[in-house]
Amino acid sequence: MSRLSIISPNQAQTVVENLYKDVERRIIASPPGICPVDISNTFLKLCHAQTCGKCVPCRVGLTQLTALIDDVLEGNATIETIDLIEKTARVIKNSADCAIGYEAADMVLKGVLGFRDDYIEHIVNKRCLFNIYQPVPCVSLCPAGVDIPGYIALISEGRYADAVRLIRKDNPFPTTCALVCEHPCEARCRRNMIDDSVNIRALKRFAVDHSGYVPAPENMESTGKNVAIIGGGPSGLSAAYYLSLMGHHVEVFEKLEKLGGMLRYGIPSYRLPRERLQEDIDCILSTGVTVHTGIEIGKDIKMSQLKEDFDCIYISIGAHQDKKIGIEGENKRGVISAVEMLRNIGNGTLPDFTKKRVIVVGGGNVAMDCTRSAKRLGAESVICVYRRRRVDMTALPDEVDGAISEGCEIMCLQAPIRISGDEDGNVTALWVQPQIAGDIDKSGRPRPAKADAEPIRLSCDIVIAAVGQGTEIRPFEEFGVKVKRGTIDTLSDNEITNIDGIFAGGDCVTGPATVIRAIAAGKVAAANIDEYLGFRHEIKTDVDIPDPRLGHKPACGRMNTSERTAGERNSDFNLIECGLTTEEAMQESRRCLRCDHYGYGIFKGGRVKKW
Amino acid sequence: MVKLTIDNIPVEVPENTTILDAARMNGVDIPSLCYLKDINEIAACRVCIVEVEGVDQLVSSCNNHVKEGMVIHTNSPKVREARKVNVELILSQHNVNCAACIRGGNCTLQKIANDLGIIDVPYKKIIPNRLWSHRAILKRDASKCIKCMRCVQICDKVQTLGVWDIEGTGARTTVDISHNRRIMDSDCALCGQCVTHCPVGALYVRDDTDEFFNALADSEKVVVAQVAPAVRNAWGEAFGLKPEEATAGRIVAALKRIGVDYVFDTDFSADLTIMEEGNELLERLGKGENYPMFTSCCPGWVRFMKSQYPDMVDCLSTSKSPQQMFGAVIKTHYAKLMGIDPKKIYLVSIMPCMAKKKEATLPTMNDAETGRDVDLVLTTREFIRVVKEEHIVVDKLKELPFDDPIGVSTGAGVIFGTTGGVMEAALRTASAVVEGHNPEPDAFKSIRGCEGIREAEFKIGNTVLNVAAASGLGNARKLIEDVRSGRKHYDFVEIMACPGGCSGGGGQPIKDGSELAYERSKALYNIDKTAHIRFSHENPLIKKLYDDFLDKPLSPIAEKLLHTDHNGWDMPLASELFEKE
C-alpha cells in the first residue's frame, strides 16, 4: 500500500465533468417564461444530489422539501404547505452544517418569497401563472425583434441583399448594428445546448459587407400628416424611417452639425467607420425625410412652435450631457469629459495627446472608447481606473481585452478621490483610494468598500471622466413634458402621459443604453405615432425565408471575427474588426438551429411577419 | 416540379409541397395525429415522421417540404420504431378508456394505435388531472388531452377568439383557457369548433341525453321535439346513410319510436324568423339606424358580437333565432290550439350546435312564461347517441311526416342550415314585400359559396342593397373591422360562427380530417330546389299564424314573443376589452 498516490479521474468522473459543462450551457440557453416553481424544484434536486449525507437538515430536509414542492406542482398541496416549505427551508438554512445545505435552502426561501403568487396559483387553481411566451430566443432578446433565424437562413443561401431587406423590416441600421450592436440576441442562443451561441453579429456584418447597395422599399401613399422628430440619433432616425415609409411627412431637427447622434459623436470610428454609418443614414434619408441640422429646440425654435406646425412630435434627444466624477480638483485644466472628447473626435477635431499621460475614469463601454481613442491620439500611457473589479465592468469583455492588447492599462478596485494640479491649474495627478470587493449589491456585483490601504498618487496630464451621461431636458420640461429622475417619463408605447401628440424614446427616456434599444424605441414610436395619427400601416417585407436544412447539427466551434494586430491598429482610427470569410460565414450560418421552425417557434409567437 | 422517391415509388410533385402531401397524393398514407392542414402544422406528435436518406434525424413530414432527389422511407425500421414508441408515450399519458369514451370508435389516437398494432404500453401511466367547471357546456377532460394544440390553433387562427392557450411549462405543459381564466368567465362563443377538431375525447359538449330520457319517462310531460335544418343532412353520416336516405322523415320516425309525442320542423320557425327579420330590415332601411343590420339567429355569433364589439350589439337584428321563436309560439298559440297546458310541454331541440344549449337558458328566453321556452337542446351527435342507445335500425325506418298543426315548411327555411341561407331567404321575402310579387327563387343565389366572406349587390324596388355573408368568426371579425374603419358599407350582413354555417356546426358529427360543411350544404340546396314552396311568406301555416294570432310582422305580440333584447343578459368581455375597463 502506497503512503500517497496520485488521484486520476476515472471514466465516470470524466463523463460527469462533461455533463456539468453540458448543464451549464443548457442553463445559459434556458428560455424565458419557465414555471419558477418547477425550475427551482429541479435545481433543488441537483443540490440534493450534491449532499454528502452526513447531516440531517440537508439529507432529510432537502428530500422533504422536494416532496412538498412536488405536491404543489401536482396540485396535491394546501395553502398550509407553503408555510411548511418556508419553515423547513428556514430550519435548513439556519442549521445545516455546510453551504451545500444552507445555500440550497436559501434558494427555496428566495422562491417562496419571490414567486409566492405562483405557488398559490398551483395550489388553488392547479395551474401556473407562467408560460413560454417567446420561443425564438434570439428574436425575443433583440429589443427590435429582428428576424434573426430568417436572415441567417438567407445568408446561408447567399441571399445577402434579401437578408438586409429582412433586417430593415425591424431595424433600419443594419450596417451600424453589424459593427457595434451589443448582440443581446446571442445570450440565450439555443445552440449553447450543443456547443456555443451562433455569432449573429458577425453574420450580419457579413451580410451588409456583401449585399451591395440595397434600396429602401417604396413609401406608402402619402397621408398628408407631419411628424417632427427632435434628435437625429438612432432612435429618431429609426422612427423617421418607418414613419416616412408609412407615408407621413417627417422632419428631423438635430442640434449638432451632422446626423447620427451617439453613433457619430460617441462611438469612435475604429469601431464604426463614418462611411459605414453614412450607408444607413443615406438609406433612411432616401425615403424622403427632411433634415434640419444645427437647430436647437428651445433656442432656435420653440417647442410650442413645433407643436403648432406638426401633427405629432417624437423626442429622441439622447443623453449627451456629461456627468461629473464629483471629486476635488475636477475643474483643473486637463480634466475633460468623455462626451466632450468623443464629440470632438466625431466632428473631426482630434485632440493631441502626444506624450501625454492619460487616465480614464469609468468602467463602461464609453470608458473603453475613451481609453482606446486616447491611445490612438498619441498618449504616452493610458490607464483606465475603475472602482470595482474587472469582471464587474459593464464594458464588453472584448473591448477591455482590446484596450489591454493595444497597450492600455486597467487599474481595478481604485476609487478616484481627488485631482491635484500645479500652480497654473494644470492636472498633475489623480489620487485614488484602493478598494476591496465587499457585499453583493442588487446588480449582483460586489460593492466596493474602502480598503485598509493608503491612497495612491497616479501622475498624469489628462483625466477623462467617463462616468455616465444625462439628458438636457430643460426646454422640454419647461414646455410641460413630465420628467422622472432626469429622464422623460413615458408610457410603454412611448407616449407622454400629460400632453397629447408627443412621444419620446431612446436614451432620453431610458438613460444611456444601447444602440439597439434606441432603434427599438424608434420602431415602437413609429407604430404608435401611426396609430395616433389614425392609421394602421403595416411594415412588412416580401422576402421569403428559405426552408431549414434537415437533420442533426453536430457540434461545431463558433467562429469569431479577427482583428487587425494590436500594434498596427493602436495608432489609427481605422476599423479594427475584420469580417468573416465566406467559408467562415457559411459554416457559422449553418450552425443556426432554426428555432423559428424547430420547436415551439413553429407553433406560437415564432415569426412576426408584419407590425 | 420536384422529383423524388417515396417508398421506392418515383413521384413528381409541385415545389413547396410537404412530404406528407406528396406521399398522400401518390397513394402512400403516412399516419398523422396533431396535423390539421393549414391550421396546425407544428410537428408536435412526431407520428408523421419519415426517414430521408442522407439525413440522420427523422423528419416530420407535415411541415417539411420535398426537395429534388429526396429518397424517403415512410416505414423503415427506424421510423417504425420511433412512430410506435411515440404513440406509446402519448398513450402513457392518455386516460385510455375507449369503451366508455365519448369518442370511442371515432378517435384518431385509437385508430393509429390499433393500426400500429399496439396492444401493450411498456410505460408507467402518468395521467394528468385538471379542474373543470361542472356546469360548463364545453367540457375538457385533461386526462384525455394529447396536447396536439389543434384547439388552440382553431380558436386563434379560424375563430380569432384565443380562448385556449398553453398553460404551464415543462413536463406539466397542458392546454387551458387563456389568461388564466375559467371557461365560465371567458369570452368563448361556444361555437364548438375546438370540439369538432379535437382528435380524441378531451374536448366534448356536455351530454344531456339523460335529461331527455327522464323527460320521456315523465308521464306528466308532453315531449315535443323540433329538428333544425342542418341536422337532416348530417345525422345519417353516423349510420352510413346516403344524404338522400337520411331524410327528415326518418328523423321524425326515429323520434316517434323513442317516444316523443310531437315532432315539428324548425324550418317552420325559420320561415317565421324571415317574416320578422325581413320586415325589420325594411324598417331599418327606412330609418337608417343601427346599421348595418346583422342577423342574430346564430347564438355563437351573438356571443361573439357581445364580447368583442359590445358597442355594436344594437346592430344585431332583434328577431329571435328559429329555435327560440319556435319555443315561444309552441308554448303559447299552439299549446292552446292543441289543448295542452303549456307548462306540461317539454320542448327538445335537435340542433347542430353547442351554443344553442346556452341560448335556451338565457334569462330573456322565457316569453311564454313557463320557465323556459326551450327546455332542452340536444346536438346532432347527442341525437345520434340517443338513436344508437335505442338500437333503432335507421335504414328500416318508415318515413313519417312532421306533425300537424305545423307540418309545412319551405325551401327558404331549409337553407338556414348553410352560410348565406338566411340572407337568401330573407331577401326572397323582402323583395316580394317591396315589389309586390315574388322574385325568381334563385335571384339571390350569388350570395352562396364557400369563401369565408361573400358580398353581393341586389336591387329591391328602387333600393340598392349591399349585403354580405360571412362564416367563421375570424371572417366575421375581418368584416366588422372593415365596417368599423369605413372601408366597407353594407345594409344587411349574415354571420354564422362556424365555417360553412350550421352544416359545419360544433354539434355535428365529427369526421377527423374532413371539413364536411360544404358537402352537407349541397344537400340542403337540393332540398330547397325541389321544395314545393320556396318563399317563407308563402308558407300557408305562417300566413295562418299571423291571421289567427300574431297579426302581422313586428306587431306588439310578435315583438313580445319573437323578438329579444340582446342587452338583457351579460357576456364576459374579450380579455383586452376587459383589461381596458
Which range, of A135-139, B504-508, B558-562, averages the lowest pLDDT?
A135-139
A128 touches B: beta carbon within 8 Å: yes
Q: What is the mean pLDDT of residues B126-143?
A: 90
| Cβ-proximal residues to A488 (8 Å cutoff; 6+ apart), any chain | A315, A471, A473, A476, A481, A482, A496, A504, A508, A509
pLDDT-derived band at B460 (thresholds 50, 70, 90) equals confident
Question: Residues B69-101: pLDDT tens digits?
Answer: 999 999 999 999 999 999 999 999 999 999 999
User: Are both A163 and A181 inside the same structural domain?
Assistant: yes
**Higher pLDDT among residues B304 and A481, named by residue:** B304
Q: What is the pLDDT of residue A134?
A: 63
User: Are both A266 and A152 inside the same structural domain?
Assistant: no
Out of B130, B167, B169, name the one closest to residue A38 (CB).
B169
Dist CA A43 CA A37 (whole Å): 10
pLDDT-derived band at B390 (thresholds 50, 70, 90) equals very high
Cβ–Cβ gap B169/A35 under 8 Å: yes
B130 touches A: beta carbon within 8 Å: yes
Dist CA A190 CA A218 (whole Å): 36
Cβ–Cβ gap A125/B55 under 8 Å: no
Q: What is the pLDDT of residue B288?
A: 76
What would the DSSP string read from start to end of B124-187? PP--------TT-SEEE-TTT-----HHHHIIIIIS----EEEES-GGG-EEEEGGG--GGGS-
The helix or strand, by DSSP H or E, that contains position B351, with its residue range, turns out to be strand B345-351
User: Are both B189 and B250 inside the same structural domain?
Assistant: no
In degrees and rounded to multiples of 5, residue B542 shows phi and psi of -65, -45
Cβ–Cβ gap A597/B55 under 8 Å: no
Dist CA B104 CA B115 (whole Å): 15
A73 touches B: beta carbon within 8 Å: yes
Q: How do strand A290-293 and strand A249-254 relate by DSSP bridges? A: parallel
Cβ–Cβ gap B57/A38 under 8 Å: no
User: Are both B175 and B235 inside the same structural domain?
Assistant: no
Vertex B537: Cα angle to B531 and B540 (nearest 5): 75
Q: What is the pLDDT of residue A78?
A: 94
User: Are both B322 and B447 inside the same structural domain?
Assistant: yes
| A 417-436 residues inside an 8 A Cβ radius of B | none
User: Are both A438 and A355 inside the same structural domain?
Assistant: yes
> pTM higher than 0.80, yes or no?
yes
**Angstrom distances, CA of residue B580 to CA of B183, B574, B577:** 20, 10, 5
Residues A198, A152: contact at Cβ < 8 Å?
yes
User: Are both A346 and A404 inside the same structural domain?
Assistant: yes
User: Are both B408 and B304 inside the same structural domain?
Assistant: yes
User: Are both A328 and A440 inside the same structural domain?
Assistant: yes
Which residue of chain B comes nearest to A600, CA vs CA? B42
Q: What is the pLDDT of residue B82?
A: 93
Q: Please report residues of A whose CB lies closer than 8 A to that of B172.
A: 35, 38, 73, 128
Dist CA B63 CA B18 (whole Å): 6
Q: What is the pLDDT of residue B23?
A: 97
**The domain containing residue A177 runs over which residues?**
141-214+547-602
User: Are both A464 and A393 inside the same structural domain?
Assistant: yes
With respect to residue A203, please indicate whether it lies within any of the assigned structural domains: yes
| Cβ-proximal residues to B114 (8 Å cutoff; 6+ apart), any chain | none
Residues A64, A105: contact at Cβ < 8 Å?
no
User: Are both A476 and A455 inside the same structural domain?
Assistant: no
User: Are both B183 and B221 inside the same structural domain?
Assistant: no
Task: Look up cell 416532496; give the residue.
Answer: A67
Cβ–Cβ gap A35/B44 under 8 Å: no
Residues B429, B288: contact at Cβ < 8 Å?
no
- The ranges of chain A with pLDDT < 70 are 1, 132-134
**The domain containing residue B500 runs over which residues?**
209-568
User: Are both A369 and A439 inside the same structural domain?
Assistant: yes
Q: Please report residues of A whose CB lies closer than 8 A to that of B173.
A: 131
Dist CA A257 CA A475 (whole Å): 20
Question: Residues B404-433: pLDDT tens digits?
Answer: 878 888 998 889 889 999 999 989 998 898
Residue B241 has pLDDT above 60, yes or no: yes
- Identify the CATH number of the domain in which residue A58 sits: 1.20.1440.230
Name the residue type at position A584. E
Q: What is the mean pLDDT of residues B308-313?
A: 95
Q: Please report residues of B whose CB lies closer than 8 A to that of A36.
A: none
User: Are both B509 and B412 inside the same structural domain?
Assistant: yes
Q: How do strand B376-379 and strand B345-351 relate by DSSP bridges? A: parallel
Tell me the shortest Cα–Cα distance from B167 to chain A, in angstroms: 6
How many folded domains does chain B comprise?
3
Cβ–Cβ gap B57/A39 under 8 Å: no
A447 touches B: beta carbon within 8 Å: no
Q: Please report residues of A whose CB lies closer than 8 A to that of B166.
A: 131-132, 604
CA-wise closest residue to B184 among B474, B570, B506: B570
| Cβ-proximal residues to A27 (8 Å cutoff; 6+ apart), any chain | none
Residue B168 has pLDDT above 90, yes or no: no
User: Are both B315 and B188 inside the same structural domain?
Assistant: no
Q: Compute the mean pLDDT over every residue in chain B, rounded to the nearest whole number.
A: 93
